[in-house]
Structure 1
Amino acid sequence: MGDRPRTTTGVRGVPGDPLVDRFGRVHRDLRISLTDRCSLRCTYCMPEQGNEWLARSSILTVDEIERIARVAAAAGVTTFRLTGGEPLLRADIVEVVRRLAAIRTPRGAAIDLAMTTNGIRLADLVEPLREAGLRRLNISIDTLRRDRFHELTRRDRLPEVLAGIAAAAASGLRPLKLNAVAMRGVNDDEIVDLVEFALAHGAQLRFIEQMPLDAGHTWDRASMVTRAEILETLAQRWRLTPVPGRGGAPAEKWTLDGGTATVGVIASVTAPFCGQCDRLRLTADGQLRNCLFSTGEYDLLGVLRGAPGVHGVPDAGDAAIDAGVDAVLRACVAGKLPGHAIDDPAFLQPARGMNAIGG
């Protein structure tokens, strides 16, 4: 289901050095997918039936996730984002958060621990997650209409998502962000409504250009609502002022009517931010990716399970395993390309869908 793992031959750098690629980008953000399974079947992501799930035996354990995260933190990673699939489907999700929240940087600072979720189980879990150390939430919501939500996700679960958003808003976790994929003829008539909904919940709405990451490979550029079109629609309702200092953040932000409220746009297709990208991605089955659109992966699962001590039992092999994990991290960073080249005629869509890569 995935791409062929790469080797670590010829890697420069030693444990403790920052993760810097050939283009000078310092990598500080690790997206950790906890599962490829999801409680929804969004049309732009997964088929309704016939999905080929990862074998449970290949899914990283909590101990393995923690080990990779500790090695990454020692190499300068300061942000972990938990993704899926749907991360709240993991029965041990609170323990995952607790373990990762306990990790510190080499200078003793706390890790910035965030999560992207569809919100369906959030009403019950937001307080345990907050108490365990979760600091930020992104919640996906593409429409406020129940009939449209059912059609788009093939599941009638909008009330649960709305309850999750309300619980997150009440929890005090900030910043709270709501993500919406803008699609022509599907939800592009709700752009203003979605922003107003986010504002009412103390959240920032972030619109995402639809990307070629569906498992069925049916992406059509013509159906994508572009950054320019999103901004044009928003400008009919609010005065937009660009927020400077984006850095490596995926979203450009604008203030609304000169106030403190903001809206974001992630324009990976029409205005890619590859030059500032500081992210790596870990799949649920232990493969490391240096780009969302990568066609290659670097195998961490084999490093972890090819030696003793990977399930939290200290022994003489632990240092060697950590060194192996560090070497794979550095190989992955060293192999990163300058950009994803979606606009290149030779662009190849990744073999995995978004649910199996991790958002």
Structure 2
Amino acid sequence: MKDGHMRDIRYLRLSVTDLCNYRCQYCMAPEGVEKRPHSEILSVEECVEIGDAAVACGIRKIRLTGGEPLVRRGIVDICQGLSELNGLEELCLTTNGSLLPQLAGPLRRAGADRLNLSLDTLRPQRFQEITRLGSLGQVLDGIQAAEEAGFSRLKLNVVLMGGVNDDEIPDFIELTRTHPWEVRFIELMPMGPCAGWERSRFLSADEVLRRFSGLVPLKDSGVARRFQVPGWAGTVGLIEPMSHRFCSSCDRIRITADGRLKACLHSRQELKLRGLHGEALREAIRRGIASKPERHHLTEDGSETPRCMNEIGG
């Protein structure tokens, strides 16, 4: 289905929880978020019903997000239900990877096609400082478990932060020498706890090109500008919501864990879907797609976006 600006909307990011087992400094407060009653969060059945309605409206790819989607009870059942939808071409998850040693196999068998892993540093002490609760070793074990389960061509998402992890740009790119992964550097957005950080923390993704010579441009795919060192196994992606808006090619909508459709990550406009069924649900999704704004209006202080990333779906 096309939105009001003739973009073909084919991609849904469906949040299944706003909870996380990490407390990343740029995403969440040290104490985390207040746990909601189960009744306020989409059930397994509602997730599948909404996914089915979205596919009927032209969605062909669904990515499950959070918070951390793997802490969600029933995540394998959600994957199983969505993977069986007629017309869905791709089912993906974005995860911090810490629970993949236990869940990579069940997720793959349930029909998940691809994984993106959030990994902001390759240094154990720094990893603990950024995540507050995480262990780098768990994530590395999770990557191994994902590959053993049959997830190929993993994507590693690195939020680029000046004075925090920008000195690791060459180390991350070096991973693509022998691994068929895509390392994606994502510009830090002024949302939630990091909205008031000093400006030096917010780097343009072009800094990657300045810090590492030898990257050759590839044909763009989706929101990322892609590069590769000739002869290396993997690729490098730059995702630039701040310095290079990609709104003109944005093909996605989002649904929050409490069942509200957001046609743009940074818009205050939300459309309630819970309680709707059948044609009423499909019509609401169509209205949401039609209302998608031409471009986002994220301000430097993050004031345009009322929810934190873990509440929207990262």
Partner of 1:291: 264
TM-score computed with the length of structure 1 as normaliser: 0.83
Of 339, 344, 354 in structure 1, the residue corresponding to residue 295 of structure 2 is 339
Q: Secondary structure of the equivalent of 1:129?
A: helix
Partner of 1:9: none
Q: 1:156 to 1:330 in 2, by over 3 A?
A: closer
Of 287, 293, 307 in structure 2, the residue corresponding to residue 352 of structure 1 is 307
Partner of 1:31: 13
Q: 1:179 to 1:70 in 2, by over 3 A?
A: same
Distance 1:154 1:84 in 2: 18
Structure 1 residue ranges without an equivalent (≥5): 1-17, 304-320
Partner of 1:226: 204
Structure possessing the higher radius of gyration over alpha carbons: 1
Amino acid at match of 1:354: M
1:81 equivalent to 2:66? Answer: no
Q: 1:351 to 1:52 in 2, by over 3 A?
A: farther
Q: How far is 1:52 from its partner? A: 2.9
Q: Secondary structure of the equivalent of 1:338?
A: coil
Q: 1:161 to 1:221 in 2, by over 3 A?
A: same
Q: Secondary structure of the equivalent of 2:196?
A: coil
Of 188, 192, 215 in structure 2, the residue corresponding to residue 240 of structure 1 is 215
TM-score computed with the length of structure 2 as normaliser: 0.94
Distance 1:341 1:156 in 2: 33
Q: Is the 8 A contact 2:66 2:311 kept in 1?
A: yes
Q: Is the 8 A contact 1:30 1:282 kept in 2?
A: yes
148-157 vs 130-139, greater mean Cα deviation: 148-157
1:278-302 deviations in Å (ceiling 9; x for gaps): 0000100000001111111100014
1:225-254 deviations in Å (ceiling 9; x for gaps): 21211111122xxx22211243xx121101
Amino acid at match of 2:283: A
Q: Is the 8 A contact 1:211 1:219 kept in 2?
A: no
Q: Secondary structure of the equivalent of 2:63?
A: strand
Q: How far is 1:120 from its partner? A: 0.6
Of 239, 248, 253 in structure 1, the residue corresponding to residue 226 of structure 2 is 253
Partner of 1:133: 111
Q: Is the 8 A contact 2:160 2:205 kept in 1?
A: no
1:256-295 deviations in Å (ceiling 9; x for gaps): 1255531001011001100000000010000000111111
Q: How far is 1:127 from its partner? A: 0.8
Between the two proteins, what is the percent identity of the paired residues?
Answer: 42
Distance 1:244 1:78 in 2: 22
Distance 1:165 1:258 in 2: 23
1:29-81 deviations in Å (ceiling 9; x for gaps): 00010100001001100000162333321100111111111111111110000
Amino acid at match of 2:129: E
CA RMSD of aligned residues (A): 1.8
Partner of 1:179: 157
Amino acid at match of 1:155: L
Partner of 1:159: 137
Q: How far is 1:89 from its partner? A: 0.3
Partner of 1:317: none
Partner of 1:273: 246
Q: How far is 1:168 from its partner? A: 1.5
Partner of 1:11: none
Structure 2 residue ranges without an equivalent (≥5): none
1:51 equivalent to 2:29? Answer: no
Q: Is the 8 A contact 1:33 1:87 kept in 2?
A: yes
Q: Is the 8 A contact 1:255 1:263 kept in 2?
A: yes
Amino acid at match of 1:332: G
1:9-37 deviations in Å (ceiling 9; x for gaps): xxxxxxxxx2x111101100000101000
Q: How far is 1:154 from its partner? A: 0.7
Q: 1:74 to 1:117 in 2, by over 3 A?
A: same
Q: Is the 8 A contact 2:178 2:234 kept in 1?
A: no
Q: Is the 8 A contact 2:63 2:92 kept in 1?
A: yes
1:330 equivalent to 2:289? Answer: no
